[in-house]
A and B are shown apart, each in its own frame.
Chain A
Amino acid sequence: MSVLQCNSLSKRYGKIPALEQVSFTIEPGRIVGLLGPNGSGKTTLIKLANGLLTPSEGEILICGAAPGRATHGLVSYLPERTCIPTWMSARQLMDFYGDFYPDFRRDAAQEMLQHLDIRPDQRVKQMSKGTREKVQLIMVMSRQAKLYLLDEPIGGVDPATRDYILSTIISNYNPEAAVIISTHLISDVEKVLDEVIFINRGQVMLQSSVDEIREEKGMSVDALFREVFKC
C-alpha cells in the first residue's frame, strides 16, 4: 500500500487557491523531495497530510486512511520552526515522545543526544538555536514511523548542521517507510533523494526519479529546477 496518496487534492483559503488538483503517490522505501519556491504550496500539502488543515476538495490518504488520530501515530513530522516546548529538559522531551508514540526508540534518541554532547537535564531554552533544531530532528527521526514529513529541515542552518541532518536522515532509513523532504535548497539534498516532485503555484509540475532526470535530461535536479522555475 502506498504511504501517501493524493487524489485531486485542492485547498483554498477563502478564494485564494493554495493547492489545485494535486495527485501523486509515494511508495514505501522512497526518500522524496518536495521542491518548489516559497509559497508554492509545499507547507499546505504537509499540513494537510498532518490533519492540521482539511481539504477543500479531493482527498489525501496516509497508508489508505484519511488524516486523523490513527494516522498521527504513523506520521513523524518535523515542522519548519522549532516547536518543542522550551521549558522541557532533554529527558522530559524523551519522556513525552515515548509516552505518546509507541514507535519512539528512546535508546536511539539517547545515543544521538550523547553524540552531540547534550546532557539529559539540559533545558531546551538553554540550548542554542542550532542545537534546538537538532534535538527536534532527533526526536522526529527516532520514531519508527511510516511517513516522515520534514518541512524545510536544512534551511537556515550552517553547513555542518546541514550535513548532520542529512546524515541522520540516511542512517535512519527504513525500507518500509517514506521520507518527504520539502525544501528549496536542492543541491544539498539531491544526492539523498530517490524522487522529486516539483510544485509551483499549488500544482504538481513534475514527478520523476533523480536518476531519470540526470540520464534523460543530462543535468542535475538543481539545474533542472533553475530552468523550470526561472523568474
Chain B
Amino acid sequence: MLRKLLKHEFRATGRIMLPVIGILLATSVAANLSMRYLLDNDAWFLSMLGILLLTAFGFAIGGVFIVSFILMIQRFYKNLLQDEGYVMLTLPVSIHQHIWSKLIVSSVWFIVTALAVILACCITAFDITIIKEILQGLGELFQELRKLQAYYAINGTAITIEMVVLVFLGLVAMCLQFYSALAAGHSLPTHKMAWSVAWYFGLQFAFQIIAFSLIQILDQINFFNWGIFHPEIHLDAMAGIHIGMAMMIFLTVVHGAIFYCITTFFMKKRLNLE
C-alpha cells in the first residue's frame, strides 16, 4: 500500500516539480550562453538581455527551493486535511503510511532539488573562462591536500557525510514540525489555518525552551567537559567531533519522532474534516 501511495504522491507532485526543475535547467543554459556571448556585447540591449537571463537564473534557484518547500506543506493539508481527505483517509491505509508517504516524497524532492541546483550551476559554469581558472586553482589545492595524511582525508569525508545526514534529518524534522502544526490546528472547527500557524510557532517556542533548558542542565552536570574529568580516556579532537555529530543526529531524530507522534495523535484521535 505504501508503494501505491508513493506512486500517486509522486504523480501529484511531479507535475509541479518537474516543470519547475525544467525551468531551472533552461535558465541555467540561458545564463551560460548569456555569460559567454551576451554580456560583453557591443549591442546594449543584448547585454541587458544577458543580465536579465542571469537574474532569471538567480531567481530560478530561489524559486525551486521555495516551490519545493511550499509544495511539501501544501500537499499535506490539501490532500489529508481538506476535501481530498474524505477520499484519502477512507482508503484501506494506515495513518502511518500516509505520513511516511508524504515525508518520503518531500525528502526525495528536497534531494532532487539540491542536485538539480548543483547541476544547474555546473551548466552555468560550463566553459566560462573565469570559472575555468577557479577550478584550475581548486585542482591545484586538492593536489596539495592529497599530500596530507589519509587520517584527515577519511575523517574529513566522514564529517562531510555526517553533516549531509544531519542537514537531511533536520529537513525531515522540519517537515514533521509543519505536519504536526497542521494536524493540530486543523483539529479545530474554525480558523484552521490560523490555529495551525499558532501551533507552529507554539511548537517552535516550546522546543527552543526545552533545548535551552537541556543545555543548562547538561552544563550544570558538566556534560560538555566530561573529557576533563576522565583523563584516562584518550580522545582526540576528531573523535570528539564525531561524537558531537552523532549526538546532534540523535537529537534531531528524537525531535522528529516527537513531532511524528504529535501528528499521528491528531490525525487519529482528533480528526475534524470539513
Contact = CB atoms under 8 A, between A and B. Distances in A.
B81 to A, nearest CB: 12
Interface residues of B, number: 23
A215 to B, nearest CB: 38
B191 interface: no
Interface stretch (B57-65, B89-97, B152-160, B165-173): B89-97
A133 to B, nearest CB: 13
B11 interface: yes
Contacts of B87: 79, 83-85
B271 interface: yes
A51 B268 CA distance: 9
Contact of B90 (A13, A75, A92): A75
A87 B12 contact: yes
Contacts of A50: 90
Interface string A67-80: 00110110101010
Q: Classify chain A: how many residues form its interface, as a range.
A: 20 to 34
Contacts of A79: 83, 86-87
Given A83-B84, A85-B12, A85-B84, A77 B90 contact: yes
Contacts, number: 54
Contact of A69 (B11, B84, B92, B273): B92
Contact of A96 (B8, B90, B92, B94): B8
Given A83-B83, A83-B84, A99-B7, A52 B12 contact: no
Interface string B61-105: 000000000000000000100011111011111100000000000
A81 B273 CA distance: 12
Contacts of A51: 89-90
Contacts of A83: 83-87
Contacts of B12: 85, 87
A53 interface: yes
B1 interface: yes
B154 to A, nearest CB: 46
A101 B87 CA distance: 12
Interface of A: 13, 47, 50-54, 69-70, 72-73, 75, 77, 79, 81-85, 87, 92, 96, 99-101
Given A83-B83, A83-B86, A83-B87, 13 more contacts: A47-B273, A51-B89, A52-B273, A73-B92, A79-B83, A79-B86, A79-B87, A82-B83, A85-B12, A85-B79, A87-B12, A87-B15, A100-B92
